[in-house]
Amino acid sequence: MGYGELRRRTEWLRAMYASIVDTYDLLNNVLSFKQANHWRRFAAECSGLAPGGRGLDVACGTGLLTLELARLAGSSGRVVGVDFCLEMLNRARKNVRRSPFRDIIRFELGNADALPFSDQSFDCVTMGFALRAVPDPERSIAELIRVVKPGGRVVTLELAKPSVPVFKEIYAVYLSRLVPLVGRLGVGRPGPYDFLARSVRAFRHQAEIRDLFVRAGLADVRYYELTGGIAAVHVGTRSLPA
């Protein structure tokens, strides 16, 4: 993908996410059968973040996964959420305003493929529902690894591809027909949730994402399929120095 095409895609995505910020959390809850909060909490727990630790949530959106990390880090920890969409960051700030963890969370503007942080700055790094949207997943995974400390975990939460017979076929119909319809009703126009359905269908199988983690150099790589394989959490550890 050339620089011009990359920039156009990034700007389109930024505008698309900005246009759905008011309905994003509600529709995600509806379309995930109210499972999204469970998925985020499980992903945060997989991070291994301990009280007093320092966590990073990349492509944090409205900050709900960031909050889950903050619960683990506690009052003595620090958590940063970074996103390329200012409107999403503004909503994230509102979402954490009444949280008891608001003082340990900060949000910054930045891209997943060029994170504005020094090497080995965090005890763990998470990314929720964004790996299928970034232009270059390999580059973004490399960035996640770069900013995590040796021994720290990289965790991604993403919509996935169910493999159970019958359920797989039912989900395919749901994804291709009902998700775009509900999305259009929610935001009042086609586009954003049509993109969601297309991006999930086009995305790599969770076993392929595991292989990406391995090729990137992460150790102890594993993945967990959630809610029948609708979502998957991938976990890998940055190796300690030899």
Q: How do the domains of the chain map onto residue ranges? A: 3-160+205-237
At 184 the pLDDT is: 67
Q: Which residue has the tokens 């991006």?
A: 199
* pLDDT per position as a tens digit, 156-180: 999 999 988 888 888 878 878 777 6
> Strands, DSSP E only, in the chain?
54-58, 78-83, 105-109, 122-128, 148-159, 219-226, 231-237
3-160+205-237: CATH superfamily? Vaccinia Virus protein VP39 (3.40.50.150)
Q: Are 199 and 178 in contact (CB under 8 A)?
A: no
In this model, does residue 198 exceed pLDDT 90? no
Which of 50, 66, 68 lies closest to 58, judged by CA? 66
Confidence of residue 187 (pLDDT cuts 50, 70, 90): low
